[in-house]
Amino acid sequence: MATTTINDVNLEAVSELINKIKESPENAATKWQAEVNWHGAFRSDAKIRDFDPIVSDEPPGLGGTNSGPNPVEQLLGALGNCLAVGYAANASIAGVTIKDLRIEVEGDVDLHTFLGLTQGNAGYENIRVKVHLDCDGSEEQVQTIHNNVVSTSPVGHSISRPVSLDIQLAS
């Protein structure tokens, strides 16, 4: 059997999951959760499973106390982290060893809607990602890996496609 570990990625676990889903497609259904608690002003944190909460605040220019990255920055971080998983997974499947991977993410937000000055889009107008992938793959392999990552990124798709979002006040 071929080596199942490359880039330190546990391909056997991924392969087991794929087999489980092929046997029963409902095994592909996953649910994810976060609980956010407010701590005064624009400070809050997001608790996810048993991990240390992700601390959130706004910079002083936006009325915050700057004790952590703000939510729109966290969104960019989630996107970059998701793409990193994608490159690691797809490179490993292709037998390509990654030497270094660094991903720069940036995006533009116009504050008019957030501040109530206009109605419209309060979110990112666009997001740009530059991927620095240093690996032993051929140019063609790298391009295939890249195309696969872009077309299968859960956070990427959640941003580039409209997601049904239901926000309710608890009674």
Site for a second copy in 25-64 (CB under 8 A): 25, 28-38, 40-42, 44-46, 48-49, 51, 54-56, 58, 60-64
**Residue 163 CB, nearest approach to a second copy (Å):** 5
Q: Report the residue number, 1 or 124, with the smaller CB distance to a second copy.
A: 124
Q: What angle do CA 5, 50, 8 make, to 5 degrees?
A: 10
Give the residue, chosen from 95, 97, 115, 136, that forms a contact with a second copy under the rule CB under 8 A: 115
Q: Is 7 helix (H, G, I), strand (E, B) or coil?
A: coil
Q: Which of residues 120-139 bind a second copy (CB under 8 A)?
A: 121-133
**Residue 92 CB, nearest approach to a second copy (Å):** 9
Cα→Cα distances 158→40, 56, 110, 161, Å: 29, 21, 20, 6
Q: Is 128 helix (H, G, I), strand (E, B) or coil?
A: strand
Total residues interacting with a second copy, rule: CB under 8 A: 121
What does the per-residue mask of binding to a second copy show for 80-99, with x meaning CB under 8 A? xxxxxx-xxx--------x-
Residue 14 contacts a second copy per CB under 8 A: yes
Q: Around Cβ 94, how many Cβ atoms within 10 Å?
A: 16
Give the residue, chosen from 97, 136, 138, 157, that forms a contact with a second copy under the rule CB under 8 A: 157
Q: Is 6 helix (H, G, I), strand (E, B) or coil?
A: strand
Tally the residues of the chain.
Answer: 171
